[in-house]
A and B are shown apart, each in its own frame.
Chain A
Amino acid sequence: MNTIDISIKNFANSLEKPSNRWYAMVFLLAIVALFGMYALVRQFLDGQIITGMRDNAVWGIYTANFVFFMGLSYAGALISCAGQLLRIKWIKPLMRMAELLTVSSLIVGAPFILFCLGRLDRIHFLFLHGRIQSPITWDVIAISTDLVFCIAFLYFTHIRDFAKLRDYPDLKVANWRKKMYKILALGYKGTDEQKKYLHQAHDIMAAIIIPTAIIAYSLLSLLFSMSLRPGWHSTIFSPYFVVTAGYSGLALLVVIMWIYRKNRKLEAYITNLHFNYLAFGLVLLSFIYAYFTFSEYLTDWYNQTKTFNMLLDKFFDFNQYAGLSVFHIVFAFIVPVIVLGFPWLRTINNVTLVSLFIVIALWVKRYLIVVPTLETPYIPIQDVRSDFVHYSVSWVEWALSFSGIAVMILIFTVASKIAPIIPVSEVEDAQNLEKPMILFKTKGD
């Protein structure tokens, strides 16, 4: 990696007085988020009858969103923590984006599973009377643990930048923000001992977040695979979910990189090399993902059970889910392999566009996991109207989904106004250190 001019003064401008365009964007996002709140209040007052969820399809896009956002969060955690632990120099400029991706998607994604509850006013019962045998309880424990850890890790990686902002005399921000930087910097002055403690804290958190994220996302898959439903009851669901999470999160990270690179003129920090490395990662993950998908369906198809065949027929029927299935296969596997696999197609814009479609295709995949299975029960309900059997998304669910996306963008917009989106201290360290600091000492060191 070439040496670049990394200094807090290069980013001070982006943290100072926000432009009118920034306020307009925050206003628009807040409007979308508030409309989602209105939809939630309507659902709370009127009940789930105003959603598309009914007796058969008791879950819908809320659950698809939950799985999708949780996946993004775990991917962000894995990327940033692996970067920290393995001392990968080139990944340093991307680490803050990955961390923000983790925290924002956890904050947005976790409530979606609560929206599926018929009686939201009894939510506290889940904590008062939760049974430790239930995968739902495992999820509640794992996700809340993961959220606390990831917020802590995000803060740890900010401490040195907060100290730099505190010590930068020309920073034109309000006094309360200067005080905030002072408090959050924890009196960090960059002494050797302080560096050592901060480094240890980083490493410990990174080391514990990786297994926590993997366990949490595996537990999420158990919500499905612990049931006997066709298409869900699978032993490979946990690794399949973890791989899908990594794939979708990496793709979204590319999109976020592209946006910040264009918007904040970060071409010196986020380079062609980053897009190339992540594109390679995406190709690799697309093959692993395809392998899992193929294994999953092949074994079930080979057994030829009646209910699974009914489910499979729906994936081939263009009046049902064949359109979405084809979209998913094309944009989650075929297009990424072709575009990212050949160097002459692997431009920054192409990588970003393909990544955007991967993200959408993997959301579609989550929808295809949740809804068609619920519409294919072992004992179908008879003599009821079709909307009790077939799921269709209502405006309330769309409103809350777009609201979730708006909140996620809002978190990025506000967070990148508080601290530089490039972790200045981390990148500086990576450039200055000739040899990376070792993680574990071995005998003889």
Chain B
Amino acid sequence: MFSLKNIYTWISLILLFGTVFISANQLSANSAAKQERVRMKLYYFKTDAGDRKIQIGLTAGSGKNMHGVKNGKVMLTSQLNDSTVTLATLETDTLGFVTLFLSPDLKLPMDEDGKSIIAANYDGDDIYASASGDMEISDIDLEFTFEEEDSVKYLNILANRIDGEGNKIPVEGLDINIGVQRLYSVLPIEKVETDEDGSAVLEISNDLPGDAVGLLTFVARIEDNDDFGNVTKSASHEWGTPVSYEIKPLPRQLWTDEAPIWMIASVCIILMGAWYHFFLSISKLIKLKKLSD
């Protein structure tokens, strides 16, 4: 008969729970035996300030089970002809990414056309198979010019590739996304394509809201390009409509810092009512105690 008085019953219950948990852990440990295929993706970013970074993503599984390979060691190299320069060996984060920020002084080995090859290698382990990949990167220079003709505003973008000797060579047929920087993100305006001179022209509307003095920040973005990766460039100009951003104080609401008065009053009334009764009953006890004295 089960009885809580019996010490053996307690010991048996604890042992039973222990056995169940250990068995469950064993089962889960045995289920992971086969190496999973790993996919590698390489990304190159050049920011507005000229900072450059290389990002590698390692993923395994597919569909709902797709996941990043964490703590995987990835070796990054730059290759030119037969020579290889090791850039870094990094460990992936919990989402399976490594990021290498390139120092502004660092010049990647490049051929006479200005192309650099970045290669990445992951050796794999007991769980994940090895993976490798590479990408070609060329440096690009984006230049803005602002022109106004008969009250029509034209934004010119000039795209030049930098070759191995530092010469600028116009890039033809390059897709560039133009947008305006808003508070949280870039508001897209239009996608333009460069001509044989590496130039693209975009007419800017007169009614774009700017800041208090009408300043607008135009952003040009090249995205996932095979030659240049992801490049961002921006420039500001007083082509916007001046907008006053005077912040009006919000009335007391659920979402403001200060709660509505009715809410504070309700909470206070309820709490005062409850605690009044508490202290009333305590006062009865004090009277009781006094009677004994």
Contacts and interface: CB of A to CB of B under 8 A. Distances in A.
B225 to A, nearest CB: 22
A191 interface: yes
B67 A385 contact: yes
B32 interface: no
Contact of A25 (B10, B21, B275): B10
B284 A259 contact: no
B258 to A, nearest CB: 9
Nearest to B68: A385
B288 A385 contact: no
B8 to A, nearest CB: 11
Interface residues of A, number: 44
A259 B204 CA distance: 82
Interface string B97-125: 00000000000000000000000000000
B93 to A, nearest CB: 12
Nearest to B96: A385
Interface in B273-292: 274-275, 277-278, 280-282, 284-285, 287-289, 291-292
Contacts of B260: 133
B5 A263 contact: yes
Given A25-B10, A133-B259, A259 B267 contact: no
A186 B284 contact: no
B61 interface: yes
A386 interface: yes
B65 interface: yes
B292 A187 contact: yes
A187 B288 CA distance: 8
Nearest to A29: B10
Nearest to B285: A201
Given A201-B281, A263-B5, A187 B289 contact: yes
A215 B270 contact: yes
Interface stretch (A96-104, A148-156, A425-433): A148-156
B88 interface: no
B281 A132 contact: no
B5 A204 contact: no
Interface string A184-219: 001111010110011011101101100110010000
A211 B270 CA distance: 10
Given A152-B281, A384-B67, A24 B7 contact: yes
Nearest to A203: B281
B271 interface: yes
Contacts of B285: 156, 159, 186, 197-198, 201
A263 B21 CA distance: 30
A383 B63 CA distance: 8
A262 B7 contact: no
A402 B64 CA distance: 33
A197 B287 contact: yes
Contacts of B267: 132, 138, 141
Contacts of B288: 186-188, 194, 197-198, 201
Contacts of B284: 197-198, 200-201, 204
B281 A386 contact: no
A347 B289 CA distance: 46
Given A131-B259, A259-B4, A186 B289 contact: yes
Contacts of A148: 278
B282 to A, nearest CB: 8
B281 A204 contact: yes
Given A188-B288, A188-B292, A193-B291, A205 B278 contact: yes
Interface in B41-93: 59, 61, 64-68
B183 interface: no
Contacts of A435: none
B61 A385 contact: yes
Nearest to A226: B254
A417 to B, nearest CB: 15
Contact of A262 (B3, B14, B282): B3
A28 interface: yes
B274 A263 contact: no
Contact of A386 (B59, B64, B275, B282): B64
Nearest to B283: A201
A208 B274 contact: yes
A145 interface: yes
Contacts of A191: 291
Indicate the member of B66, B259, B284 with the most A CB atoms within 10 Å.
B284
B274 A212 contact: yes
Interface in B249-274: 254-255, 257, 259-260, 263-264, 267, 270-271, 274
B207 interface: no
A21 interface: yes
B293 interface: yes
Nearest to A148: B278
Contact of A28 (B10, B61, B275): B10
Interface string B190-229: 0000000000000000000000000000000000000000
B271 A145 contact: yes
Interface of B: 3-5, 7, 10, 14, 21, 59, 61, 64-68, 95, 254-255, 257, 259-260, 263-264, 267, 270-271, 274-275, 277-278, 280-282, 284-285, 287-289, 291-293
21 contacts: A25-B7, A25-B10, A28-B10, A132-B263, A132-B264, A132-B267, A133-B260, A138-B267, A145-B271, A145-B274, A145-B275, A186-B285, A187-B291, A197-B284, A197-B287, A198-B288, A200-B281, A200-B284, A208-B278, A262-B3, A386-B64
4 closest Cβ contacts across the A-B interface?
A: A187-B292, A385-B67, A201-B284, A201-B281
Given A28-B10, A132-B263, A262-B3, 4 more contacts: A132-B267, A193-B291, A197-B291, A208-B274
